[in-house]
């Protein structure tokens, strides 16, 4: 194990590297820029309320300010977003959301201009014990000479990770580590490899001079021999440098030999691989190069990058955006634009943009799903759970039908479920198992009762809209308490992880197999998280045992 000494770099050097380095700015900018590229959805049913919120959001230029805060946090370790709110109190007083009549402005200050009040960080408040160890105030010292104090409740903190208590970099306490400190060695190696390349080309042609050494050795005295040799070399050097021509005698010969570049390309690629790995970015994004290797498509790189962006959105953007939206809604209520506080189902839009081929493949998958719905509808009709007229009515209304919704309408009727299951048991759907169908392709279809409704499972994976709705609770109930081979215990499953499991067709047995029989484990891309990998399957588990995501591929 190699123990590295702490690297101390001043803020001016960080800014200079950001301004002048060939790839470092792209590493810093890409994640915050990508996180808000697709935008987000409020999930508010009232279109007028959504329009009011987004109009105010855009008026405040929130996307730019949030992106700028993220960039400065990654560059300097942290940034502070101050919310100037009209609540009838000063900036150094706690924000009163109930009196927030207007969100006036958002201003971003990098860590270099925001000084935490260390004294207040260790004062204990019995009413708010969870805030012990956190600054109550920040002193803002702008680059123009202005200075003011702001209460922490009026601030949105952007930190590049979390500083460990044993860290040597205590100057970044209450913030995070500048990204450059982690990347310095890979950046230096990459710069050295590319800076040396032109010099290697320049020196690859080695001049060869042949002459009659017997004539030179015949000179009297060692000094005379050396002097004559130096004179010949200087003459050739001047001729090649200025005239690009070598003047030689008839008994002399002059030529070039080219040095081998064997291994140079591999060394350059190794430097790029090292930097891309340290930056947690695919090379297609960082260098604009095509994916390499046998059968390389770049799909796994894109998936890993999207997972990195999704983690950044969840950890760094969701809470600040929801805080801003909350203040905008309160402003709307005060102005009479919004009658009552709406229900919000906030979600970031998907990062992937489908190509024409992918859209065609998606349409094909939709057709397969439609056929599956039709088969399910036929089964329900056969069992008496649905009347064919109900399906026709659904088709007549909008040319498609949601079989789960139709069933739910019937499920709510007294004794329906018991009657349906009794009829299902009497059907000889498969010789050895009740409620099970073995399809021609070998897949096992099984009906289970989840939350009071029948749900179709294929090879242990919930299907359809109802399947996706109950996925989180189903996977969490089935996996809670499962022991990981390293001694950890699963405490829950995130909605994102459950949806990933459905998309990839992973059953609870598949996930449990990875956790108990993994062949490698390594730190995840969020603090205290761990990847467990078995073959091409990887499961990301947080420090408290919550399954955060699942990945398929190299």
CA angle 6, 8, 10 (to 5 degrees): 165
Q: Domain limits of the chain? A: 11-182+309-348, 205-258, 354-459, 473-554
pLDDT in tens, the chain (554 residues): 455 656 778 889 999 999 999 899 999 999 999 999 889 999 998 989 999 999 999 999 999 999 999 999 999 999 999 999 999 999 999 999 889 999 999 999 999 999 998 887 776 565 666 566 788 899 998 777 788 999 999 999 999 988 777 777 777 888 888 999 889 988 888 888 877 766 666 666 666 666 666 666 665 555 666 777 777 777 777 666 655 566 666 667 767 676 666 666 777 888 888 888 888 888 888 887 765 543 444 567 778 888 899 999 999 999 999 999 999 999 999 999 999 999 999 999 888 766 666 667 777 777 777 777 677 666 666 655 556 666 555 554 544 555 555 555 544 444 444 454 455 444 433 333 345 666 555 667 777 766 666 677 777 777 766 666 777 788 888 899 999 998 899 999 988 888 888 888 888 889 999 999 999 888 887 778 898 998 888 999 988 899 988 887 65
Which residues share a beta bridge with 80?
Answer: 109, 157
| Residue 5 DSSP one-character state | P
Q: Which residue has the tokens 């078995």?
A: 534
Determine the pLDDT at residue 305.
Answer: 86
Determine the pLDDT at residue 428.
Answer: 36
Determine the pLDDT at residue 364.
Answer: 75
Contact predicate 419/410, CB 8 Å: no
Q: The tokens of 67 are what?
A: 């992106």
With 0.75 as the threshold, say if the pTM is over it: no
Q: How far apart are the first and last CA of the chain?
A: 27
| Residue 289 DSSP one-character state | P
Contacts of 19 (CB under 8 A, 6+ apart): 25
Between CA 18 and CA 460 the distance in angstroms is 50
Contact predicate 455/462, CB 8 Å: yes
CA angle 536, 542, 543 (to 5 degrees): 130
Between CA 400 and CA 391 the distance in angstroms is 9
Kindly give the pairing relationship between strand 137-141 and strand 347-348: unpaired
Between CA 99 and CA 94 the distance in angstroms is 11
Q: Sign of the C-alpha dihedral, residues 411, 415, 419, 424?
A: positive
Q: Which CATH code, of 3.10.580, 3.30.2310, 3.30.300, 3.40.50, is assigned to 473-554? A: 3.30.2310
Contact predicate 30/281, CB 8 Å: yes
Which residues share a beta bridge with 256?
Answer: 207
């Amino acid at each position: 194990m190699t123990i590295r000494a702490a690297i101390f770099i001043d803020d001016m050097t960080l800014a200079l590297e950001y301004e002048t380095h060939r790839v470092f700015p792209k590493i810093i900018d890409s994640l915050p820029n990508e996180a808000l590229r697709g935008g987000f959805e409020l999930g508010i049913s009232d279109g007028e309320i959504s329009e009011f919120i987004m109009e105010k959001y855009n008026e405040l230029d929130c996307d730019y300010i949030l992106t700028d805060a993220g960039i400065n946090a990654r560059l300097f370790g942290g940034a502070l977003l101050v919310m100037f709110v009209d609540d009838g109190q000063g900036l150094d007083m706690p924000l009163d959301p109930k009196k927030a009549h207007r969100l006036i402005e958002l201003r971003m200050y990098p860590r270099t201009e925001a000084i935490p009040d260390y004294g207040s960080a260790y004062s204990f408040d019995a009413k708010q014990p969870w805030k012990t160890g956190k600054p109550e105030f920040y002193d803002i010292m702008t680059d123009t000479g202005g200075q003011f104090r702001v209460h922490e409740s009026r601030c949105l903190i952007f930190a590049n990770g979390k500083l460990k208590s044993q860290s040597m970099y205590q100057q970044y306490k209450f913030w995070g580590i500048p990204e450059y400190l982690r990347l310095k060695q890979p950046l230096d190696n990459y710069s050295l490899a590319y800076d040396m390349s032109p010099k290697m080309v320049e020196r690859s042609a080695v001049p060869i001079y042949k002459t009659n050494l017997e004539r030179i050795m015949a000179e009297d005295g060692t000094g005379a021999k050396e002097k004559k040799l130096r004179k010949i070399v200087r003459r050739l050097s001047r001729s090649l440098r200025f005239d690009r021509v070598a003047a030689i005698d008839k008994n002399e010969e002059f030529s070039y030999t080219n040095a081998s570049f064997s291994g140079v390309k591999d060394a350059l690629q190794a430097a790029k691989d090292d930097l891309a790995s340290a930056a947690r970015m695919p090379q297609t994004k960082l260098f604009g190069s095509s994916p390499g290797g046998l059968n390389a498509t770049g799909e796994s790189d894109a998936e890993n990058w999207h997972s990195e962006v999704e983690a950044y959105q969840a950890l760094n953007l969701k809470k600040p955006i929801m805080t801003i939206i909350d203040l905008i809604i309160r402003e709307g209520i005060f102005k009479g634009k919004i009658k009552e506080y709406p229900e919000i189902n906030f979600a970031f839009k998907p990062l992937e943009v489908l190509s024409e081929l992918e859209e065609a493949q998606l349409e094909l998958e939709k057709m397969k799903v439609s056929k599956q719905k039709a088969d399910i509808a036929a089964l329900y009709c056969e069992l008496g759970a649905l009347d064919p007229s109900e399906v026709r009515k659904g088709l007549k209304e909008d040319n498609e039908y949601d079989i789960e919704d139709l069933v739910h309408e019937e499920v709510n009727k007294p004794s329906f479920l018991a009657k349906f299951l009794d009829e299902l048991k009497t059907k000889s759907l498969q010789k050895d198992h009740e409620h099970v169908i073995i399809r021609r392709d070998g897949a096992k279809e099984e009906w289970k009762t989840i939350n009071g409704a029948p749900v179709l499972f294929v090879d242990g994976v919930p299907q359809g809209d109802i399947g996706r709705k109950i996925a989180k609770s189903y996977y969490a109930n089935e996996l809670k308490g499962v022991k990981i081979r390293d001694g950890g215990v699963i405490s829950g499953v995130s909605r994102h992880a459950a949806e990933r499991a459905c998309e990839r067709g992973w059953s609870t047995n598949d996930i449990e197999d990875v956790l108990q029989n993994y062949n490698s484990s390594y730190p995840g891309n969020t603090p205290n998280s761990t990847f467990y990998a078995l073959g091409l399957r990887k499961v990301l588990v947080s420090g408290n045992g919550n399954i955060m995501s699942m990945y398929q591929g190299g």
